Each structure stands twice: as C-alpha cells, then as structure tokens.
Amino acid sequence: MAVSADRRRRRRLFFLSLMLLAWIAMIAFRLFDMQVLRYTAFMAKVKAQTSRVEDLHSKRGTITDRNGEVLAISLQSKSAFISNKDSQLSLGVLKEFCLRVPLSGAQKANVARRIRRGEKFIWVKRKLTDDEYAKVEPLARSAAMAGALDFLDEYRRVYPQKNIASHILGGVGIDEQALGGIETSLDGEIQGRGGRLKVLIDARRKIFEVKYLEQPVPGRDIHLSIDAALQFLVERELAAAVERHRASGGAVIVMESRSGQVLAMASYPDYFPERIWKIPPAVLKNKAISFLYDPGSTFKIVLAASALENGAYHPRETFDCHNGVYFLFDRQITDVHPFDRLRFDDVIIQSSNIGAAQIGQRLGGDKYYRTIRAFGFGCRTGIRLPAEENGIVHPPGKWSGVSLAFLSFGYEIAVTPLQMAAAFNVPAAGGFLVRPEILRDAPAGGLRKRVMSAPSQRRLTRILTAVVDRGTGKKAAIGGLAIAGKTGTAQKIKTGRYAASHIASFGGFFPAQDPQVTIFVMIDEPQGLYFGGDVAAPLFRAIAERLMPYLRLFPELPAQNKIFL
C-alpha cells in the first residue's frame, strides 16, 4: 500500500511538472511570437493606440497686385478638435460647440459617428474665424469639459478684396488644395512644404502631448500684373453692362500694349474665392480664357492684316457689295446696312460681310490661314492661368466651298476673348504678337513675334481709327482722344446650329498713334439691342474713360475751347 501511494504521488508530480513545462513553453512561445515573429505588427498597434501623426499644411504664399495690394493671404487660425476619452463627455462638448458655432447636419453627424466609434483625435471644425474662436474657446477652459476640447494652429486662406479678381485668383479647399486660378497654376510655388504633427495619448486615452515632427515651410509670394483698383472698376463696369442688357455674362481684358501685361481681366458672373467649393462650375469658368465663340466682325482685323501683308487689293479698287445680299453657292451672305460698292478701307470701316468675303476670296485660303495661325489662333496664348482653351481652327484641307468666305467675317472658327485681345494688340504693339502676361515680374515684352510689317501695321491702325471716327464703332469714341477699334456681332451656335442668340464684342487700343492700352470686351447673349456697336463699344468707352487718369492721358480740347494765357 505504501509503495502504491508513493507511485501515485510521483505520477501526480510528473503530470504537474509536465503541465508546468507545457505552460512555460506556451508562455515562451507567446513571448517569442510577440517579440520576434510579430514584433512589427504589435508595435504598430501599440503606437496607433498611444500616438497619431497628423499632416499640417504650410503657409501659402501671399498674392498681391502690381502695387503690393494684398489679394490673397494665409492667416494663422485655430482648429478645434476633441480628445475623445469619454464618449458621453465628447458628445456633450459637440452639443455645446454647435450652440456657439453651428455645423452643417452632415458635419455634426460625422463628428458624432467618430466619437461613438471610439476615435481619440477628432476634428470638430478647422480654421475658425477669430469670432468663432472667441465663442468656443471658453468651453476648453470650463471645468466640466477640461481636456475634452482643444485647439491647434493652422493657416486659413483669406481674400481681403472679396470678389475682386476671383477668376484670376481661384481659391483653395479646407485642406489647402488649389481649386482654380493662379492658386492652381502656380500651386507648386505658392503652397510651400507641409509639416507633420505627433499626438501622444496616455494609458487613460487622454492626449497629453502634441509635438512637431517636421515644421512646415511657407510658400513663395506671387506678384500679379493686375492693378486691384483698375480690376475693381473694370468688374463694376462689366457687371453694370451685363445687367443693363440682361445678358448672361461677359468678359473684359485690359493689357499694356507694349509689354502684354494684363492690367485687368474680368469675367462675369463672379464669386467669392473663400467659398469656391460651393460655386457652380458655370460660374467658376473664366470666360476670358475658356469661353469659345465665333468672333464675327472683330475678326476682320485679321483679314485686313492678311490682305495688307499680301497685297490682295488695289488702292483705287472697289468691291461690289450687292446692296446687302450676296449668294455664294447655296449660302446667303448679308450686310446689316446695304452698300453698292466700297473701297478696301470702307469694307472694314463699315463692316461689310459681303465685301470681306470677296477680299478673302481674292486673298486665297493658304495665305489667309497662315495669317490666322501667325496671329496665334488655334493654340493657347500661354498665359499662366489654368483651363485656357486652344480655340478651333480647321486647316484649308477641311474647308468647304464657302468656308473661306465665312472665315473672312469671323465664322467657322472658335476663339477666346483673350486670343482676340492678343490679336488687337498686334497693331498696338507695332506689328508684334505679344504673349499676355499675368505676373508682374515676368520679363518685359513677354514672348514677341513679328506678324505684320511696320507699313501694314500703320495702315491697319489708320483703318481702325476710322472705324471709331466714322464707322460702326462711333459709340466707343472719346472726344480729343484717338481710339482705334473694331466692332463685332456674331450669332451663337446652339445644338449644332446658329441660333437667335448673339455675342457682342469690341476690341481696340489707345492713343491710336502711341498705344498704351489694349482692351477687348465681350458680352454674351444681350437682350434687345445686340450689336457690338451698341452694346460692347459703350462699355469699351466707359472703361477707357476710367483708365485715362490712371495713364495720365488728357484729351486734346478743340481749338475753340483752348484757353490761352
């Protein structure tokens, strides 16, 4: 019996020892698994539970006008976040926050959902205004909510001039992502380099430290060529004209004739850049560079330039204008005012489509096409703004039997207002095509290419001056100031056909013999009066009158009104 009992004790001891060894082996394997086999995964999990890395945006560069007036600037602001250690407390903080600074239904629901999900670091609202911060900052100091609500410094993009130059500037989103305009085209320079922030969480799931891993690097400041005061005046005049003619929109470009620098570029309707993400795409479109249309009779300056360069007329020759109605194959060409015969100059001055068609046929498709391309049509001007259109120019091989005639008065081609401004600037710049420039510090003169000889340029300037003196552009005239320009009225294409909607335009420069400024005006779908001479020419005059004091231009008084001392 004693032997049997002793054997049972040894057996029990053996099994206990075996179980102990197995338990030790399991612990050892578990430690090996955690510390060797799955060390990386477990450490990542621990770090995720005790810390979080947040990306921080850099301070975007300031955008100013040519005189240093601030158009866009990033100001330091507070962003509110919840340190979610107690979901009920956090939901209470959210409720109190929304009583002081309202959130949208979707924003509030998203924050509440993240609180209930147990996330520890939750943005409530980023980039608070000073007024919003003053309202919610006391919550962070209250005893009942201590440690649950806190703030981090970020930068908020501000546009002090409100809607001024909105289509040039564009805007940014909540994460500083560029959303149009110069903010997009020069984003690589403006945005700088972002930083990184580490948020440390203790065992009680409370944020106890916030430290920078990498400091943000601010972006480069940008100086635009526009003048904020002139931009304001141009936008005001454009808006008034659009409203007066019950039009759907419009665009105006004002350029320095010699340098090509853009002093003002307006597109209407406009918007507030700080709310860019809420703006409909149609309003965001910069009509000056993205609106394609048939230019109509303003394009006759290209025809005239080509004819002058290629000698496609005789000085004493007249063109039969068929008293206002002319048939080419099965197509009818008409003039607003019937003429019998007109000389070359008067075809342009009186804007005869029939005369233009005959000049074009005399010139020939190949020569005319080369001039069209030389004037920059069919490709972007290269201005440093996004979404610029190329336009549409078909080569002669794709023309129909009537294409040359219709191209002669601005149909069967699609252009942008900026391309037309650059074309009108050719005679103003002494026969050179100058690339429009939106940056103040760009090299003077921009990209220049001679496309007209000096004699042809001078002759075209005289013709365009006569357009304003005695032709279709009389409503652009300013007494005592020589203005060169051309009117245009074109039907719009809708659903593939020309419709009863029109585009009125006028381009010109002044002073005619010593050009300083080139202006192009386009009004889309004016109601009632729709001719370029009635709608666009008066707007050109209104803008030119506002520009005269800026340029220190004073009209010459008639001799009978002069005062002699």
Give the torsion sign (CA, 223, 227, 233, 235): negative
Q: What percent of the chain has pLDDT over 70?
A: 89
Q: What residues are paired with 211 via a beta bridge?
A: 198
User: Do residues 399 and 218 lie in contact, with contact meaning Cβ atoms separated by under 8 Å?
Assistant: no
Listed residue (378, 336, 373) closest to 356, CA to CA: 336
Integer Cα distance of 342 and 141 in angstroms: 85
Collapsing DSSP to helix, strand or coil, 334 comes out as: strand
- DSSP-derived pairing of the beta strands 195-201 and 51-56: antiparallel
Say what the pLDDT of residue 41 is.
58
Integer Cα distance of 67 and 227 in angstroms: 7
Say what the pLDDT of residue 564 is.
42
Say what the pLDDT of residue 52 is.
60
Size (the chain), residues: 565
Say what the pLDDT of residue 1 is.
54
Task: Report helix, strand and coil shares of the chain as percent, to nearest 5.
Answer: 45, 25, 35
Listed residue (475, 470, 540, 472) closest to 510, CA to CA: 540
Integer Cα distance of 194 and 218 in angstroms: 8
Integer Cα distance of 487 and 297 in angstroms: 6
User: Do residues 61 and 221 lie in contact, with contact meaning Cβ atoms separated by under 8 Å?
Assistant: yes
Residue 106 CB contacts under 8 Å (≥ 6 apart), including other chains: none
Integer Cα distance of 556 and 551 in angstroms: 15
User: Do residues 58 and 197 lie in contact, with contact meaning Cβ atoms separated by under 8 Å?
Assistant: no
What the chain holds in terms of domains, given with CATH numbers, is: 53-94+122-142+149-223 (3.90.1310.10), 228-559 (3.40.710.10)
Integer Cα distance of 78 and 132 in angstroms: 9
CA separation, residue 47 to residues 44, 53, 204 (Å): 5, 10, 15
Integer Cα distance of 518 and 509 in angstroms: 4
**The two structure tokens encoding residue 88:** 């009920």
Integer Cα distance of 343 and 318 in angstroms: 4
Say what the pLDDT of residue 14 is.
75
pTM, entire model = 0.84
What interhelical angle do 87-100 and 130-141 show, nearest 10? 140
Q: How many Cβ atoms are within 10 Å of 490's Cβ, its own excluded?
A: 24
User: Do residues 432 and 451 lie in contact, with contact meaning Cβ atoms separated by under 8 Å?
Assistant: yes
Q: Give the number of C-alpha atoms closer than 13 A to the C-alpha of residue 277, restricted to the C-beta side.
A: 7
Q: What is the DSSP string of 224-263?
A: BS--HHHHHHHHHHHHHHHHHTT-SEEEEEEEETTT-BEE
Integer Cα distance of 493 and 500 in angstroms: 9
- Give Cα 12 distance to the centre of its chain: 87
User: Do residues 301 and 433 lie in contact, with contact meaning Cβ atoms separated by under 8 Å?
Assistant: no
Collapsing DSSP to helix, strand or coil, 117 comes out as: coil
Give φ, ψ of 489 to 5 degrees.
-135, 125
Integer Cα distance of 74 and 237 in angstroms: 30
User: Do residues 288 and 417 lie in contact, with contact meaning Cβ atoms separated by under 8 Å?
Assistant: yes
Integer Cα distance of 167 and 270 in angstroms: 7
What interhelical angle do 300-310 and 417-428 show, nearest 10? 40
Integer Cα distance of 448 and 14 in angstroms: 100
Tens-binned pLDDT, residue by residue, of the chain (565 aa): 555 777 777 777 777 777 777 778 777 777 766 666 665 655 555 454 555 666 667 789 999 999 999 999 999 889 999 888 888 888 988 998 999 998 988 999 999 999 898 888 899 998 898 899 999 889 888 877 777 888 888 888 999 999 999 999 999 988 888 999 999 999 999 998 877 767 666 655 555 566 667 777 889 999 999 999 999 999 999 999 999 999 999 999 999 999 999 999 999 999 999 999 899 999 999 999 999 999 999 999 999 999 999 998 887 899 999 999 999 988 999 999 999 999 999 999 999 999 999 999 999 999 999 999 999 999 999 999 999 999 999 999 999 999 999 999 999 999 999 999 999 999 999 999 999 999 998 765 557 899 999 999 999 999 999 999 999 999 999 999 999 999 999 999 887 778 889 999 999 999 999 999 999 999 999 999 999 999 999 999 999 999 999 888 877 655 554 544 4
Say what the pLDDT of residue 563 is.
45
Q: What's the farthest any 2 CA atoms get from each other in the chain?
A: 151
User: Do residues 97 and 83 lie in contact, with contact meaning Cβ atoms separated by under 8 Å?
Assistant: no
Per-residue pLDDT tens digits for 301-334: 999 999 999 998 887 899 999 999 999 988 999 9
Collapsing DSSP to helix, strand or coil, 121 comes out as: strand
Cα–Cα–Cα angle for 545, 376, 407, nearest 5°? 90
Cα–Cα–Cα angle for 317, 322, 323, nearest 5°? 115
| Side chain identity at residue 60, one-letter code | R
Integer Cα distance of 407 and 438 in angstroms: 30
Give the torsion sign (CA, 324, 326, 332, 333): negative
- DSSP-derived pairing of the beta strands 325-328 and 207-214: unpaired
